[in-house]
Each structure stands twice: as C-alpha cells, then as structure tokens.
C-alpha cells in the first residue's frame, strides 16, 4: 500500500511534467506543422535576394556581441573576485544593473543622445558653434547595434562567471600567484580556461537574446532573422516562409545549445563543493586602485548612468503630459502580469525540475530540454501559435460558456490568460535553469535521507528540498519577473482590449518617433527591474554556497 | 493525507490561472452583467487600431461622452492585427479596423475581414475618392509624401518631380527611409500604377544610386539628416514636420524652421497621398455602434481634432487643415484609386528587394 502510494505520487509528478511539456510543444507544433508544405514563390524571392544578408547580419551581430560581452563580462568578474579597490562593493552589484535596461530602450536613448537634436550635438552647436560630421555620431549602424547589445547584455556573462570564480577558483589562482604569475597571465592562462563553462553558459544567454531581439534591429534598420520573420509573415502575409526562416533560426540555436552541452560535458575543472572558499583578494592602492575603479566606472556609465540620465532629462520635459491616472494603471498592469506569470513559471519549473532530478530516465531528460524551446523561438512565432491554440480552445468551450450563462464568444483568447500562457512558454527556461542549478547544488542525499525516514516524494519536496533551494527559487523568480517586465513582441501581439504595459507604451511612443514621451514608461521599467535586481543580488549574497 | 501537498499545489496553480483569466475580462464582464436587459448593441464598440497617437485617445473619449458608448481598444501593428482578425474569424470581438495605410485596408478587405457599410452621413462627409468602392472602408485623414529640403542649400525652383530625384545632380543628396516602411511601399506601388513597372524599377534604382546614406531610422531621422547636412533632400510624410514644429524639445522646433516643404509632380501626375482609414469588421458584434463611431470620426468636430492634434489633412472637405498645413498651400494629389496601393503592395516589396533598397 505504502509503495503504491509512492508510485502514484511519483507518477503524478511525471504526469504534471508531461502536461507542461505538452503545453509548451503544442503552440510550437501548430506552427511547425507548416514547415512541410512546398515552398512558394515568396520563398524563392527571399532566398535569392535576402537570405544571404540575413545570415551575414545575424552572424556578425552574434559573433561580435559574444566577443565583447566575454571581454567585458569576464574581466569585470575576475577583477571583482580577485582584487580590492575603491568602490568595489558598489560596483560588484552595480554591474548587474544594466540588465534592467531593455536593449531597445537603450537603443533609442543612445540615438536620442547622439543625433542631431540630441544633447551633445545641440550643446556643441549652440555653445561652441561646432558642427560635427554626422557619421561619427551615427549609432544606427552594425557597430552601433553591437555596442548596444554588449552594453546591456554583458551582465549575463558577468553574473555567471563571477559566481563561478568566487566559489571555485581560489586554490588555482593562489597557486598560480605563488608560482610567480602576474595578474595578466593568471587571467589569460588560468581564469579563462577554468571558467569556460560558466562563460559559455552566460554567452549562450546573450546569443539567444541577440537572435531574438526585434526592437533594436528594427529601429536601427538592420535586417536579421527576426525582422525577416516579421516581414515575411506580416509584410508578405506568408506564413510558410516565415516558419521556414524560424526553422533556420531554430537550427542555429540548437547547434549553439549542443555546442554548449559539449563544452560543459567535457569540463575537467569541477571541484568538490566542500572546499569552497573565496579567493584571497589583492589590495590595489594608489594609481592601480584608481585605474581599476575608473574602468568599472566607465563601463557603468555607458551601460547604465548615461542612458538613465538622458531618460531622466526627457522625463523632466514630458512628465506633465504623461503622468495621468492611466499611467498608474500601466504600472499595475505590468507588475501584475509579470508577477502571475513568474509564479506560474516557478511552480512549473519546480515540478519539472524535481521530477527530472529524481527519475534518471531519458524521457525525463528530454522533458527538461523542451523547456528551452520557448526561449529559443522568436516571440512572434510563439504568439501566433498561442493565438491559434486559444481560439481553438474557446470554440470548443462555447457550449460550456453558454451552460454557465455567458455569451459564446472569445473569452480566453481575449483575456490576459492568453498573454500569461505565452509568457510561461517563453520564459520557463530562465526559471528552470535557476532551479535546476539549485537542485544540482543540494544533490540527492538529503531527499534520500528524508525518504528513508518515511516521507513521501511530495512531503520530502515541501519539507526538505524546497527549503534548501529557496535561494535558487527566489533568484529564478526575480529573473523571470524582470524579463517579463521588459518583454515586447508577445505583449504587443497578444494584448487584450484596453491593456497596455509600460513596455508596450514605451515602444509605441518610440516607434512613433516621440522619444521624449517614451522616457517615463522606460524609467519605470528600469526602476522596477533595478529594484528587483538589487534584491536578487542580496539573495545571492546571503545564499550559502 | 499524503497526497494533500500535491493537491494543494495544483489547486493554487489553477486558481492563479483562473484569477488571471478573470481579471483580464473584468471590464468586459462588468459591462455585460451590468446591462443585461439592454440589447448587446448599446454598451460598447471594440477597435483594433494601428494608429498610436495620443490625440486618438482624446477622440475615443469625446465619442464616449457624446454617445455613452465605451470604446475598447487594442493598439498594434496593422499587419499583426490583420493576422489576429483572420485567426479569430467569425468569433472575433473586434468591430472596427483602423489602419494608417491604404494598402493595409485593402489587404484586410482582400482577406474578407471587412464588410460594406451604408451610411448617409459617411457618404456625405467623405468624398468618393477617399473611400473603398464597396464602402468597406473610409479614409479619415490624408497625409502627403513630399520632398523636404534644406532652405539654405536648395532652391525650391530646382525641384520638380519624384522622378527628378534620380537625376545625376542629386547624387549623394537624397534621404529616404528603409523599404520595409509601408509608406515607401505605397509610394512605389503608386508609381507602378501610374508609370508602369519598368519606370518604377528605374526610379527605385535611381534613388538607391543617389542615396546620401543607407536607409535608417524613421521619417523624422531623415529630416534631421537634412538639417545636419548629410543630404539635401528627404522624402517624407508631412505630419512629421508638423510634429517637430510642436515638439517638447526646443532643438526639434528649430529643425522644422530650417526646412521647406515641396509638393512634387504638380505639373505632372500629382503628389503621392496616403490615408488612414477605418472599416467595420466582417463579423462585428456591435455593428451599429461601429458605424456610429465612424460617423463621429468623419464629423467636423472629430476631423478638427485630427487636423490640429496630429497635423494630418482632414478627409472631410468641409474641415480646414491646421495653420501650419495651410501655410504650405494647396496641392494636386495623384489621381489613382487608393485600392491600387494595396493591390500592388507585394510586388512593390519585391521590386525594392530586387534593386537592393534596404
């Protein structure tokens, strides 16, 4: 009886896991079903005239953004974990803050600073009568886009590398120091090789963000896969070609993910967690210390301070137009959907994570891989898949609506549940990764002990496991919350009637070429995300490794 | 007992989901339940719009004040809204589709998403050339795509036609945005109709050869580049000039003073005009309200708001343009039916790609 009960329980974890997996797969499949139709005339047109530049542009963006985020992210992480210098404690978490600025907001803010009527050129013109060559102030270029992505995405590399270095690198670094290596050699010959798993983990997040970005590339007029998907789908009205493009994009993403796994699989530098201790920090004083602080300050300025200051300036110009009662509704809407979706994601991630951890089968492993699917799909593709499913569902439910006295109309697909469902699909991977790493850290021994003492899987989960990984849960929750707050394409396509968020409002103003007006919703996104990220940092600090 | 944890978990989740589902519907449910006795056609009207201007929100409010009919809005990109409408099919709750481009309206019509409307008021307020021939959509505003030039470098007497912009003398001087932009697509579509595909292709090739820089940014960015000296001429919509003239940023106001507006092709086939227009969806549930809303938008009161608020040309000939627009004078517009812009859109997009207009 007891054994059977255990089995039933374990099965229900399994069932729930597969329900989630199915929910993720459904909308994607409904789109991909079209992949096997004959290519049409549009496709040949795309292939002949456009495909080459899509591939070149997307790969250029990805390559250079990856390169620069590694350079900046890893160097900052290394300096923070190995040296003492003025203001270090502030920069340590300050360097996470650029994540609170969505790249599309960064993009139009920088364009606003640098263009002809921007603050720099106006000042030069009006006060010093200097006219500058426009091309040196033009950020709407490929290098400009790489700059924007690097500045607002490097924290992914920084966070992951930093937490690895802080916990894992002490003995190697100290030995290298004893053997007489200087800091540069240590960085080059020790830090980069040992932290490559962490770096790759961070960079693959950066790459996925870049490939999926729609706001920046559209604004800058750079044609990439994601703009191409929008153009084929909505511009040419050609669903089939759009899906084909998405299919190519997916293949690229899958290659990247497989590579990441390969690198991770061969890691030989893992340490037993019992020996964890921080690196002994070298104190930098005088000019060296100052130089180090200056480096941090420069990065911090470009990635956070300068755009923030510009937004604040614009906010000052427009606050009397923007601050209305409706604005508070926007804030509430944004926070509300992000909260609900983040809760759902954490719950789903916990269930899938716990199930895959306890059952070692291949199917369970596969289930955990499916979670990444939503994160690697372009937002527009998910959106259309979700719409199709929800409208179908509504039609099936018409008799039910009538039975409970409602009009048989689109209820689900005009409610925010559709939007929230799409968020869950899109961001489950983020929550899942965080929770999976939490489970990895505690291992199975405590669960096994609890089971030996007679608790069921479910009881152990609530009484033992959950308590041990609560830091990871909170961390995952916050990351997801911030991501949803910044999300754009899904929210634009799936919004219900009269439902606007800070992100959609900011984008509408910006795409309507009213950049000053976009500043206040943007500032609110940054403020709320910034606060959440600060909390996240505090949680990481407290977390016993 | 042992199962209860898990059950609780599931319950929490379902409740969260239901909560989410309900709260999204709050506004609609409230409307449905509070007026159960009345016909469903009195309370509200649902609008899918591709226009995001704040002045439009004032118009919705004015309409609600006048009629008591609440306006529910989804703002999005036209193409995505069309996709959404067609997926919703006969179950759609959208009553009206409002788009800032004639091509998109035509496309919605082609996809069988709109229906014909009979209204004397509309027929009276909106001239025949500004509405669909089956009355499936009506223009509410007009915008002209003109040449904006740097006053200090260009003598307007040098300017004549769109075709002239491909002349050798403008090499490296012409600014225009990306071909992804629908205003450019409609512009090229109109040339394909008026001058034939060969000539249109030559024109596009000529512009690419004369571009001052790779196309980037919006219409406003082209104007800024003119003033900054990157080029001398920009092809752009009139209301962007108006918007800069009324900007919250004093630097932008200065910009508008340094450029002139030129209406091309006055001695030949006229300046390209696009519209924003609105139609009732095929499966509208509140058709009566939808028509009332359209009639309201075509009225003098609303047309004035369009004109003053966003510097567009009113579609209703009885209403005067804003002072700024009047200062640029009258002009002769292209004489083609606006449906053409939609019919030729896909070909225009391909032509742009073929000549390498980014």
Average the pLDDT over each of A255-264, A286-295, A491-500, B50-59 and give the range with the smallest value: A255-264
> Do residue A499 and residue B24 have CB atoms under 8 angstroms apart?
yes
**Using 50, 70 and 90 to split pLDDT, how confident is the model at A76?**
very high
Q: Is A392 on the interface with B (CB under 8 A)?
A: no
For chain A, the straight-line distance linking the first and the last C-alpha, in angstroms and rounded, comes to 39
Nearest CA in chain A to B14: A344
What residues in A contact B255, CB-CB < 8 Å? 116-117
What residues in B contact A335, CB-CB < 8 Å? none
> Do residue A415 and residue B24 have CB atoms under 8 angstroms apart?
yes
**Using 50, 70 and 90 to split pLDDT, how confident is the model at B345?**
confident
Q: Is the pLDDT of residue A268 over 60?
A: no
> Do residue A236 and residue B346 have CB atoms under 8 angstroms apart?
yes
**Tokens 């992000």, residue located:** A338
| Cβ-count burial B244-283 (b if 16+ within 10 Å, e if not) | bbebebebbebbbeebbbbbbbeeebbbbbbbbbbbbbbb
Which of the 8 DSSP states describes residue B131? B
Q: Is A388 on the interface with B (CB under 8 A)?
A: yes
Nearest CA in chain A to B251: A117
> Do residue B5 and residue A461 have CB atoms under 8 angstroms apart?
yes
CB contact set of A234 (below 8 Å; sequence gap of 6+): A380, B77, B79, B80, B82, B83
What residues in A contact B201, CB-CB < 8 Å? none
A49-105+146-322+501-545 belongs to which CATH class?
mainly alpha
User: Chain A interface, mutation test: which of B1, B3, B4, B6, most A Cβ atoms within 10 Å?
Assistant: B6
Counts for chain A of helices (H) and strands (E), in that order: 27, 2
pLDDT in tens, A429-441: 888 888 887 887 7
Where exactly are the structural domains of chain A?
49-105+146-322+501-545
pLDDT of A34: 66
Taking residues A467-471, report their average pLDDT. Answer: 81
Q: β-pairing, B96-99 with B272-281?
A: antiparallel
Residue B47's φ and ψ, nearest 5 degrees, are -120, 130
* Cα angle B123, B127, B129; round to 5: 120
Give, to the nearest 10 degrees, the angle between helix B345-355 and helix B102-110: 120
What residues in A contact B79, CB-CB < 8 Å? 233-235, 237
Contact in structure between A240 and A39 (CB atoms under 8 Å): yes
Taking residues B95-104, report their average pLDDT. Answer: 91
Contact in structure between A222 and A138 (CB atoms under 8 Å): no
Encode A210-271 in three state secondary structure.
HHHCCHHHHHHCCCCHHHHHHHHHHHCCCHHHHHHHHHHHHHHHHHHHHHHHHHHHCCCCCC
CB contact set of A493 (below 8 Å; sequence gap of 6+): A379, A380, A383, A384, A387, B76, B80, B84
Q: Is A163 on the interface with B (CB under 8 A)?
A: no
pLDDT in tens, A207-231: 888 988 888 988 888 888 888 887 7
> Do residue B248 and residue A318 have CB atoms under 8 angstroms apart?
yes
Cα B215 to Cα B175: distance, rounded to the nearest angstrom: 7
What residues in B contact A317, CB-CB < 8 Å? 248-249
| Range picked from A21-35, A164-178, A387-401 for highest mean pLDDT | A387-401
Please give the residue that has the higher pLDDT: either B108 or B4: B108
Q: Is A497 on the interface with B (CB under 8 A)?
A: yes
Give, to the nearest 10 degrees, the angle between helix B78-88 and helix A379-403: 40
pLDDT of B2: 41
Provide long-range contacts, Cβ within 8 A and 24+ apart, for A328-333.
Answer: A329/A500, A330/A500, A330/A501, A330/A502, A330/A505, A330/A521, A330/A524, A331/A502, A331/A524, A331/A528, A333/A499, A333/A500, A333/A501
Of A119, A369, A389, A103, the closest CA to residue A257 belongs to A369
Q: β-pairing, B44-49 with B233-237?
A: unpaired
Cα A285 to Cα A298: distance, rounded to the nearest angstrom: 19
Nearest CA in chain B to A43: B350
Taking residues A48-58, report their average pLDDT. Answer: 87
pLDDT of B252: 85
HSE value, Cβ hemisphere, 13 Å, CA-based, for A290:
2
Ramachandran region of residue B329, left (φ > 0), alpha (ψ -120 to 50) or beta? left
In terms of Cβ atoms closer than 10 Å to its own Cβ (0-12, 13-18, 19+), residue B325 is buried
Nearest CA in chain B to A492: B76
- Residue A499 corresponds to which tokens in the numbers above? 């439902």
A391 → closest Cβ in B20, B88, B240:
B88
> Do residue B5 and residue A459 have CB atoms under 8 angstroms apart?
yes
Taking residues A49-69, report their average pLDDT. Answer: 91
Of B253, B227, B211, B216, the closest CA to residue A107 belongs to B216
In terms of Cβ atoms closer than 10 Å to its own Cβ (0-12, 13-18, 19+), residue B227 is buried
Average the pLDDT over each of A214-228, A318-332, B101-115, B283-297 and give the range with the smallest value: A318-332
pLDDT of A276: 59
What residues in B contact A410, CB-CB < 8 Å? 88, 91-93
Interface of A with B in 298-327 (CB under 8 A): 317-318, 321
In terms of Cβ atoms closer than 10 Å to its own Cβ (0-12, 13-18, 19+), residue B65 is exposed
Q: Is the pLDDT of residue A324 over 80?
A: no
Work out the minimum CA distance from A337 to partner chain B, whole angstroms. 8
Q: Is the pLDDT of residue A62 over 80?
A: yes
Work out the minimum CA distance from A504 to partner chain B, whole angstroms. 9
In this structure, the dihedral spanned by the alpha carbons of residues B207, B212, B215 and B219, taken in order and rounded to 10 degrees, is -90
pLDDT in tens, A388-410: 788 888 888 888 888 887 777 77
Hey, which bits of B282-326 come out as E strands?
313-314
Domains, chain B: 42-141+274-321 (3.40.190.10), 144-272+328-355 (3.40.190.10)
| Range picked from A276-285, A461-470, B226-235 for highest mean pLDDT | B226-235
**Using 50, 70 and 90 to split pLDDT, how confident is the model at A8?**
low
Work out the minimum CA distance from A418 to partner chain B, whole angstroms. 8
CB pairs under 8 A between A and B: 191
Interface of A with B in 402-441 (CB under 8 A): 406-407, 409-417, 419-420
Nearest CA in chain B to A462: B5
User: Chain A interface, mutation test: which of B214, B228, B311, most A Cβ atoms within 10 Å?
Assistant: B228
pLDDT in tens, B155-172: 888 889 999 999 999 999
Hey, which bits of A81-236 come out as E strands?
83-84
Cα A541 to Cα B12: distance, rounded to the nearest angstrom: 30
Q: Is B244 helix (H, G, I), strand (E, B) or coil?
A: helix
Work out the minimum CA distance from B204 to partner chain A, whole angstroms. 16
Cα A416 to Cα A402: distance, rounded to the nearest angstrom: 21
What residues in B contact A134, CB-CB < 8 Å? 225, 228-230
pLDDT of A463: 80
pLDDT in tens, A105-159: 999 899 989 988 888 888 888 888 887 777 778 888 899 999 999 999 999 899 8
Taking residues A325-354, report their average pLDDT. Answer: 90
Q: Is A45 on the interface with B (CB under 8 A)?
A: yes
Taking residues B183-204, report their average pLDDT. Answer: 93
pLDDT in tens, B3-62: 444 455 455 445 545 444 444 443 343 333 333 344 444 589 999 998 888 788 889 999
A498 → closest Cβ in B72, B243, B249:
B72
pLDDT of A527: 93
User: Chain B interface, mutation test: which of A56, A221, A224, A518, most B Cβ atoms within 10 Å?
Assistant: A221
Q: Is the pLDDT of residue A1 over 50?
A: no
> Do residue A236 and residue B91 have CB atoms under 8 angstroms apart?
no
A235 → closest Cβ in B79, B215, B248:
B79
Taking residues A345-364, report their average pLDDT. Answer: 83
pLDDT of B6: 47
pLDDT of B291: 94
| Complex ipTM value | 0.76
């Amino acid at each position: 009886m007891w054994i059977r009960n255990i089995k039933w329980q374990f099965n229900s974890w399994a069932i729930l896991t597969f329900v989630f997996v199915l929910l993720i797969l459904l909308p994607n499949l409904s789109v991909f079903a079209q992949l096997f139709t004959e290519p049409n005339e549009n496709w040949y047109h795309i292939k002949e005239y456009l495909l080459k530049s899509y591939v070149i542009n997307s790969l250029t963006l990805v390559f250079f953004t990856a390169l620069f985020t590694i350079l900046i992210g890893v160097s900052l992480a290394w300096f923070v974990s190995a040296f003492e210098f003025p203001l270090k404690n502030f920069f340590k978490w300050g360097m996470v803050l650029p994540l609170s600025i969505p790249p599309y907001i960064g993009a139009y803010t920088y364009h606003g600073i640098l263009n002809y009527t921007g603050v720099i050129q106006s000042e030069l013109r009006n006060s010093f009568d200097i006219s500058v060559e426009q091309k040196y102030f033009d950020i709407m270029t490929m290098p400009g886009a790489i700059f924007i992505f690097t500045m607002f995405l490097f924290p992914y590399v920084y966070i992951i590398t930093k937490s690895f270095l802080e916990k894992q690198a002490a003995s190697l670094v100290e030995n290298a120091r004893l053997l007489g290596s200087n800091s540069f050699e240590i960085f080059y010959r020790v830090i980069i090789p040992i932290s490559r798993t962490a770096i790759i983990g961070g960079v693959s997040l950066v790459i996925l963000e870049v490939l999926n970005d729609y706001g920046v590339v559209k604004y800058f007029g750079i044609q990439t896969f994601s703009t191409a998907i929008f153009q084929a789908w909505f511009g040419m009205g050609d669903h089939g070609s759009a899906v084909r493009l998405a299919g190519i994009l997916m293949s690229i993403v899958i290659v990247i993910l497989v590579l990441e796994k390969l690198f991770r699989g061969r890691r030989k530098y893992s340490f037993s967690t019992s020996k964890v201790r921080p690196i002994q920090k070298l104190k930098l004083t005088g000019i060296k210390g100052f130089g180090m602080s200056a480096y941090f300050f420069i990065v911090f300025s470009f990635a956070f301070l300068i755009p923030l200051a510009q937004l604040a300036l614009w906010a000052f110009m427009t606050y009397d137009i923007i601050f209305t009662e409706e604005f508070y509704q926007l804030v509430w809407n944004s926070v509300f959907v992000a909260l609900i979706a983040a809760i759902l994601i954490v719950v789903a991630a916990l269930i899938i994570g716990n199930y895959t951890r306890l059952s070692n089968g291949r199917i369970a492993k596969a289930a955990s891989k499916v979670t990444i699917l939503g994160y690697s799909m372009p937002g527009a593709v998910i959106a259309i898949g979700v719409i199709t499913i929800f409208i179908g569902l509504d039609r099936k439910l018409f008799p039910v609506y009538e039975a409970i006295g409602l009009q048989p109309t689109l209820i689900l697909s005009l409610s925010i549940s559709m939007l929230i469902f799409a968020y869950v699909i899109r961001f489950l991977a983020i929550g899942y990764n965080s929770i999976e790493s939490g489970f990895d850290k505690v291992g199975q021994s405590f669960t096994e002990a609890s089971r030996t003492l007679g608790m069921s899987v479910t009881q152990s989960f609530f009484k033992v496991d959950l308590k041990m990984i609560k830091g990871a849960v909170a961390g995952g929750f916050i990351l997801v919350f911030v991501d949803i707050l910044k999300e754009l394409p899904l929210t634009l396509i799936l919004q219900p009637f009269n439902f606007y968020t800070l992100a959609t409002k900011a984008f509408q103003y910006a795409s309507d070429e009213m950049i000053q007006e976009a500043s206040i919703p943007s500032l609110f996104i940054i403020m709320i995300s910034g606060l959440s990220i600060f909390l996240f940092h505090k949680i990481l600090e407290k977390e016993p490794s | 007992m042992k199962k209860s944890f898990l059950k609780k978990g599931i319950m929490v989740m379902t409740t969260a989901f239901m909560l989410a589902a309900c709260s999204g519907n709050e506004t609609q449910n409230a409307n449905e339940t509070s007026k159960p006795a009345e016909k469903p056609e009195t309370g509200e009207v649902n609008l899918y719009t591709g226009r995001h201007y704040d002045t439009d929100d004032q118009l919705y409010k004015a309409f609600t004040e006048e009629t008591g009919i609440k306006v529910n809005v989804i703002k999005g990109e036209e193409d995505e809204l069309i996709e959404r409408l067609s997926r919703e099919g006969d179950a759609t709750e959208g009553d009206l589709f409002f788009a800032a481009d004639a091509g998109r309206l035509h496309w919605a019509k082609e996809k069988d998403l709109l229906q014909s409307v009979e209204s004397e008021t509309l027929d009276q307020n909106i001239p025949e050339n500004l509405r669909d021939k089956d009355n499936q959509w009506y223009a509410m505003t007009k915008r002209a795509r003109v040449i904006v030039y740097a006053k200090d470098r260009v003598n307007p007497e040098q300017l004549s036609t769109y075709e002239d912009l491909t002349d050798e003398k403008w090499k490296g001087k012409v600014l225009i945005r990306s071909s992804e932009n629908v205003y450019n697509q409609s512009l090229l579509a109109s040339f394909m109709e008026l001058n034939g595909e060969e000539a249109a292709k030559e024109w596009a090739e000529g512009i690419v050869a004369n571009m001052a820089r790779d196309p980037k940014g919006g219409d406003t960015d082209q104007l800024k580049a003119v003033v900054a000296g990157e080029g001398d001429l920009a092809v752009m919509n009139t209301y962007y000039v108006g918007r800069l003239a009324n900007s919250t940023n004093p630097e932008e106001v200065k910009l508008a003073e340094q450029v002139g507006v030129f209406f091309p092709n006055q001695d030949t086939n006229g300046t390209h005009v696009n519209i924003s227009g609105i139609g009732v969806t095929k499966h509208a549930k509140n058709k009566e309200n939808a028509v009332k809303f359209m009639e309201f938008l075509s009225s003098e009161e609303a047309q004035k708001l369009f004109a003053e608020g966003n510097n567009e040309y009113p579609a209703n000939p009885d209403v005067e343009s804003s002072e700024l627009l009047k200062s640029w004078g009258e002009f002769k517009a292209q004489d083609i039916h606006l449906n053409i812009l939609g019919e030729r859109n896909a070909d225009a997009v391909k032509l742009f790609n073929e000549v390498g207009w980014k």
